[in-house]
Structure 1
């Protein structure tokens, strides 16, 4: 017994030493939060920077960012419980709500329409699109919504004007389809739109400059998650806010450009710079979602999804956490 006592004491001492000197994350790993997104342009930069700069870990959340082929697919992973959040726009949230998913916007990074409706050089004016093909990423997705917002603003109706949608993959694929003439127009984010503008392609509408109200790219989760784990969601919102502030600080331009080059697989810094400057005008440090931005797209999406007639735009907004954050002075 005398021989065992020193051994026991040494073991107890070792355990106490490990517990005292180990970092907090060693004993209790940070909760994992997976965020899916379905766009291939510059919009998800806040997520990428948030992970790379450690902003999410600073607020007690380990975030993994996952690319999905489209917004609707990303929303399906939220419904299945494979991810805890989606970085997407109001149309996908509305479609999810129409299907019975308790999806809500908890913070909005891009509070307006953005990107450009780009057309081939032979398309000189909006009316020239009648009877032509427009490239989209998916029916009902964010790219489709931006195309629909642009066409609506230009007084074009796909059914009346016989405009057909061609589903392609990502924005790079739509750029290729425009160059080969497979489609005559498509909405693109500013990074890819700028590449085609330099080749003589026509900007039929810059959505960011048009007076279009829209609830753009946002952090979306389920009401169930808000009730069960508000602390983690608040951490994600704060980390995203830190990231947006970092991106909008001119001193961090080189870091943001490098991230855009890496994530979008761009070979030249000037290509990434167009995306960087676009973020300076589209991102907002006021992450409070506005119901006015959901009303117009609700009307448009309701044309193809009758289930939305029973959904009110304000039902997809849950702003209690972001209001709490701002009220604290953060």
Structure 2
């Protein structure tokens, strides 16, 4: 799911003319200090789509006809394009003076595409210089950045575009995913940039212990809460946790810009587990691990392969898993620890901010 920066134009990208607040001539055009440097770093290094919003008061009225609006507006767009900064969409509200129109900020009529589309609004931002911009963020259930001196609601208040960039760069890759069927009710919270904290309530003690290995050794924060039909068996709980966890990783990784992408091997006593992972967008599982026991704790050993296969399906990753040894508990725990270490490597962010593929997309 895509994250978006909904950026108000006047007072944020350009300085709003102080006398009449109307950018109706090229002579009045002045760019906000630091905006080019800040947005360049954001678009090159981070994973946000840029959307410009303006409801310049008076657009299309006799006092401020459209022909006075477009020269300055087009000059703004060209200046940003010259610096490699392009907006995926330009949203202009022409409903003034209809102040109660559904498209007028802070109402969300202009943004239905993003409300009902495949967008991560919870981790998106509205950036603006007016209270209505921050109210728009509240209505979208997104975060907000207020460019100005004082706002008690905004996530960040600043007048510095470099501070905006640093704030966005420091944002952890966090998601929350729920999955509810007639068989299971699952809630997963994942923070790829965590510190190894975990909470696990699946109803299966050994399964909780294995999920804890992912959190601890993957250096991620992970919370998994499940209400499953364990009175039938363990199958639905294990499978649906894997499917939901894979979806969480897919969402948290976003476009995968700047990650290592690959990860790899772990000995545990007499066992050796090898796990190779590739978050390359193509689900596949190679499984070379046999178990002599039917159960480990409350977990059927046949479910371990099914867990990783289900994870690859929704995470859209390639997993190659091999394990050998005598102790079945050690063997499966080694697999989960190696899996966690592989994830830790693959999710690592690098100083190369491109997509890690010659295709340019993953």
Q: TM-score, normalised by structure 1?
A: 0.25
Q: Give the structure with the larger helix fraction.
A: 1
Q: Give the structure with the larger strand fraction.
A: 2
Q: TM-score, normalised by structure 2?
A: 0.23
